[in-house]
Amino acid sequence: MADATPENTMIITLPAGEVHIALMPDVAPKHVERMKNLVAQKAYDGVAFHRVIDGFMAQTGDVEHGKEGGDPRRAGTGGSDLPDLPAEFSKVPFERGTAGMARSQNPDSANSQFFIMFDQGAFLNGQYTVFGQVIKGMEHVDKIKRGAGGSGAVTDPDRMITVRMGDTV
């Protein structure tokens, strides 16, 4: 399950404070490897939470269009230049603080975008890849600016200031 060792703890600095996500290399090894790779490249630094639905989740990780200076109308449509990943579905449930990979309708289309759950989402179980669990700072996730309407699109969104692994602090 969640591995809170420094090399498997992703630390996201938000405007409200730090969020620590224990990664799950035993559950989703390819997705954890991808996250670590993008973190090492500093690809997530400055990326917007472009889709935030109150009571559901906060989505971020569009390293192509979600950075400051990017086209906010396209945020949520891009990814990294790395190939998409095959799904690594598991029996780990989507609960408050669960981190999962976003994707299109194609289950094997996860790339760089991810989301953090505000509440449980049993309807996602076995349909999306779980790669981590918030172990510290969920109160800061709760402060992320919410989007409007059913789509959750956010105007003037909060951003991940920096993202790093616990063993590089």
**Domain edges within the chain:** 6-168
pTM (predicted TM-score): 0.96
Q: Identify the burial level of 73 via C-beta atoms within 10 angstroms of its C-beta, where 0-12 means exposed, 13-18 middle and 19 or more buried.
A: exposed
Q: What is the pLDDT of residues 4-56, one digit of tens each?
A: 899 999 999 999 999 999 999 999 999 999 999 999 999 999 999 999 999 99
Distance CA 138, CA 71 (A): 28
pLDDT tens sequence across 50-83? 999 999 999 999 999 888 877 777 887 888 999 9
| CATH number for domain 6-168, candidates 2.40.100.10, 3.40.470.10, 3.10.20.30, 2.30.31.70 | 2.40.100.10
